[in-house]
Amino acid sequence: MTDHATLIPLDNVDPALVEALLDRAFEPERRTRTAYKVREGSEWLPALSFAAIDSAEHLVGTIQCWPVALTGVGGDGSARKHPLIMVGPVAVLPEAQGLGYGQALMSAALAALDPRAPLPQVMIGDPEYYGRFWGFSNAHTGGWRLPGPYEQHRLLARTSDPAVLPSDGLLGPWAG
């Protein structure tokens, strides 16, 4: 990351500035993406969400993490929710991309997970990039579904114990 950059809790930043950054990084049509449907109605997790501020004290990047669930069918035929943390969006202003802000934001969010009971994390992203730096993989998500279009190989999960990941289910907001 560039010298003199600072990461701060995202809830210390004006929400209008965050929305403007997300619009610049992903276009205003971002709200129609499947990831928005997955976390619809949820509030991002302040303890896992950060902002990157450059040396001129401008907002240059953000990361948000969200409570979501993979809903599958339990042994008795009832719906069973498996809590997960959805990582992203990771957003960096176009002119600041490639300077390490995104990597710093990802590392900060994952480091903030409670090591006593870390929930598995899920994201939609490049498997080579997120696998190489943080251990995300699509090896256990082949039977998972999302509420909208997506590329199956880009649905990634990360956990210290893959045995806790259900083999199938629908990813959506955590409600309960």
Listed in sequence order, the residues at least 6 apart from 164 whose beta carbon sits closer than 8 Å to its beta carbon are 82, 120
Reported confidence tier of residue 158, pLDDT bands at 50, 70, 90: very high
Name the strand (E) or helix (H) holding 35: helix 34-38
Q: Which residue has the higher pLDDT, 12 or 163?
A: 12
Distance of CA 45 to the CA centre of its chain: 10
Q: Are 75 and 89 in contact (CB under 8 A)?
A: no
- Identify which of 125, 107, 101, 102 has the alpha carbon closest to the alpha carbon of residue 35: 125
Reported confidence tier of residue 83, pLDDT bands at 50, 70, 90: very high
Q: Are 72 and 96 in contact (CB under 8 A)?
A: no
What token pair was written down for 122? 């899920």
Q: Which of 45-54, 95-104, 166-175 has the lowest mean pLDDT?
A: 166-175
Per-residue pLDDT for 176 more than 90? no
- Identify which of 105, 85, 74, 79 has the alpha carbon closest to the alpha carbon of residue 38: 85
CA pseudo-torsion sign 71, 75, 78, 80:
negative
Query: What mean pLDDT is reported for the chain?
Result: 92
